[in-house]
Amino acid sequence: MPLDDPDLTGRRVLVTGGGDGLGRQMTEAFVDAGATVVICGRREEPLARTAEELADRGTVIPVRADVTEPADVDALVAAAGEIDVLVNNAGLAHRAPWPQARSEDWRWIMTLNVESPFWLFQRFVPGMIERGWGRVINVASVYGLVGGDASRYPGLDLDIASYFASKHAVIGLTRFLAAQVGASGVTVNALCPGMFPSPANDDALRPEVIAALEQGTPMRRLGTDRELRSAVLFLAAPASSFVTGHSLVVDGGWTVW
C-alpha cells in the first residue's frame, strides 16, 4: 500500500478544528482516502463551507462544538459516534510579552491545546480499545521541540509563551498515553509541523517573513499541503501499526539547526 495514499474506506475520523487552516487540509486528505470525516469547531460558517465544498468527494459531517466546554464535548461525542481516528488539531496561541502574561489567558490556552485532547482521548479511545484498532494523532508543533528563534519573524514578536509550553505538554501527553494503551491496537502519535501556509497566518507571512523562514529552513522553502497530507495519512494508516509514542516532525529540517 502506498504510504502517501492509504485506503481508509469504512473508517470514521474526527478532526477538531477541521473547518479551516491545517485542519481543512487534513480533512480533505481523509475524505480523499475514503473515510467519513466528522469536523468540529467553534464557528459554524467554515464547518458548513468545508462540508459543502467536499460533498462531491466524500462525506463530511460538521458539528459546531467548543472542545473547551464539557457540554459541547458531550454533544460532539453523541454526534460523532464511533471514531476510528481521532485528530486533535484544534489549538491557538495567545500573544503577550511574558512579563505581562495573565494567568486566565494562560489557562485558556492550556485548556484548549492540552486538556481538550485528553478529554477527547478519554471519551473516544475506550471504544477503539474494544474494537482492537484506533489511531490518535495529536497535532503539536516544531515549537513543542525547540524554544523558538525570533529572528525568523522580522517585524513580529514571538511572545507566545503559553503556546510553546502547551505544545511541549502535548508531546509529553502523547508519550504517556501511547504507553498506557500500547498493547491495545491503538497508536498515539504527535504530528509536529513546521511552517505551512494557511489562511490563519496569511497576515503574518509578509515577503520579508517568508524570506526569513525559508532562510531558517535547510530545504529553503515552506511546506506544501501535499507534504502535510502524506504525514497525517501515514499516522492514520494501517501501515503505521508499529509506530506509537512518536513525534513525526515535518519541517524541512527546521529543527536540525
Q: Is residue 191 part of a domain?
A: yes
CATH of the domain at 143: 3.40.50.720
Q: Is residue 5 part of a domain?
A: no
pLDDT band (50, 70, 90) for residue 155: confident
CB contact set of 111 (below 8 Å; sequence gap of 6+): 68
Average pLDDT over residues 27-36: 97
DSSP letter string over 140-198? --GGGTS---GGGSTTS----HHHHHHHHHHHHHHHHHHHHTTTTTEEEEEEEE-----
Q: Is residue 46 part of a domain?
A: yes
Average pLDDT over residues 229-242: 95
Q: Give which of 194, 88, 101 is closest to 143, Cα–Cα.
A: 194
The whole-model pTM stands at 0.95
Degrees (nearest 5) of the Cα angle 220, 15, 21?
Answer: 40
- Give CA–CA dist 125/122, Å, rounded: 6
CB contact set of 129 (below 8 Å; sequence gap of 6+): 181, 184, 185, 186
Q: Is residue 6 part of a domain?
A: no
Mean of per-residue pLDDT scores for the chain: 94
CB contact set of 123 (below 8 Å; sequence gap of 6+): 73, 77
Q: Is residue 4 part of a domain?
A: no
Q: Is residue 3 part of a domain?
A: no
> Is it the case that residue 2 has pLDDT exceeding 70?
no
Q: Is residue 206 part of a domain?
A: yes
198: which strand partners? none
Q: What is the pLDDT of residues 64-117, one digit of tens each?
A: 999 999 999 999 999 999 999 999 999 999 989 999 999 999 999 999 999 999
Alpha-carbon distances, residue 201 vs 97, 152, 189, 209, 227 (angstroms) = 20, 14, 25, 11, 18
pLDDT band (50, 70, 90) for residue 5: low
Phi, psi angle pair for 15, to nearest 5°: -115, 110
DSSP letter string over 25-60? HHHHHHHHTT-EEEEEES-HHHHHHHHHHTTTTS-E
pLDDT > 70: percent of the chain: 98
Average pLDDT over residues 19-46: 96
| Contact assessment for residue 211 and residue 195, using Cβ atoms and an 8 Å cutoff | no
Say how many domains are in the chain.
Answer: 1
Between β-strands 12-16 and 36-41, what pairing exists: parallel, antiparallel or unpaired? parallel
- Give CA–CA dist 9/12, Å, rounded: 9
Domain of residue 156: give its range: 12-250
Q: Which residues belong to the active site? A: 163
Residue 3, pLDDT score: 45
Q: Is residue 1 part of a domain?
A: no
